[in-house]
Amino acid sequence: MAALLLKEIVDSFCLTVVDENCNLDVPVEVSDINRPGLALAGYLQHFDEQRIQVIGTAESAFLNTLSEDLATERWLSFISLHFPCLVITRNIVLPERWLQLAASRQLPVFRTRLATTRFIAQLTNYLEHKLAPSTTLHAVLVDVHGVGTLIIGESGIGKSETALDLIKRGHRLVADDAVEVTCTEENVLTGTAPEVLRHVMEVRGLGILNVKALFGIGAVRPNQKIHLVIQLEEWDQTKAYDRLGLDEEHYNILGVGLPCKTIPVRPGRNLSNIIEVAAMNYRLNRSGYNAVEDFIEKQRKFCLGDTSDDVIV
């Protein structure tokens, strides 16, 4: 997981820096955020020092109920802990002496005018996106009937040409050549194109094509969850390819296993048609119907002498 520096958060949220001499190169490595109510109450066990701490109206009001000496003691105990920074919401004004104590311990303190709940929600989403595990793949990502289909294979195998045919059939391009994959949710991968390659693709013999300009805005989309992987490979006559669909292949990306279909490439095969049907079959499987299981069940009944016709709805 990558680390994010405090100065990037300060710039993104326009935070006010209380002490201009504080270190803004402190890394933030987790997306979780903490409101230190228990810590200010004196309970310091299980305190996660990796989290950004946020003080709002409730924490400030609680400190005001304590005597001056006790409140200062609790404040000192809190700022003596090691955490990336402290953010004070609603532009709440804390005693200047407390802020000086925080500065003396080199604790970065920031202010925001936002309400506590709204700020925490926005910052959590921001951190989850920035700190999410990610990788870049040499592949093509296309939205086929709502199924995020990642096409992989050796260079020159025909990934872009196949994607171009899918676009002409009405499907949408997400990324060509380079796909940035991010795991923002558990076992959910999202793909997008690098900014410089967005909406464009390279086809050997034609060069760079702007898909959005050629086919319209409906032919592209900025990002897409990845559901299915299609691996294109040169036809190998010595290799036994799956003919029934019994083999369940998976392709691992960032620790997530995605269903994968290996499609052998040879002259005369309509790859875009095969991929389109593979996406449709994926949706059918997700709805609960499996053609292989149905076929096996019919064969079993036939062997037992049951010739009744089954109607699939």
Catalytic residues, by residue number, are: 138, 159, 177, 243
Would you say 162 and 275 are in contact if contact means Cβ atoms under 8 Å apart? yes
The pair of structure tokens assigned to 35 is 């409101």
**CB-based burial label for 225 (10 Å; 0-12, 13-18, 19+):** middle
Q: What distance in Å separates the CA atoms of residue 201 and residue 70, rounded to the nearest whole number? A: 65
- Binding region for Mg(2+): 160, 202
Neighbouring CB atoms inside 10 A of 109's CB total 22
- Binding region for ATP: 153-160
CA 215 to chain centre: 28
- Nearest one of 213, 225, 58 to 141, comparing CA atoms: 225
Q: In what order do the strands lie in the sheet with 228-234?
A: 172-175, 140-144, 147-153, 228-234, 256-265, 249-253
Neighbouring CB atoms inside 10 A of 99's CB total 19
- Binding region: 153-160, 202
State the Cα torsion 81-87-92-98 to the nearest 10°: 30
Q: What distance in Å separates the CA atoms of residue 232 and residue 272, rounded to the nearest whole number? A: 11
What one-letter code names the amino acid at 3? Answer: A
Would you say 190 and 181 are in contact if contact means Cβ atoms under 8 Å apart? yes
Residues 6+ apart with CB under 8 A from 11: none
What crossing angle do the helices spanning 68-79 and 96-104 adopt, rounded to 10°?
30
Q: What distance in Å separates the CA atoms of residue 142 and residue 302, rounded to the nearest whole number? A: 40
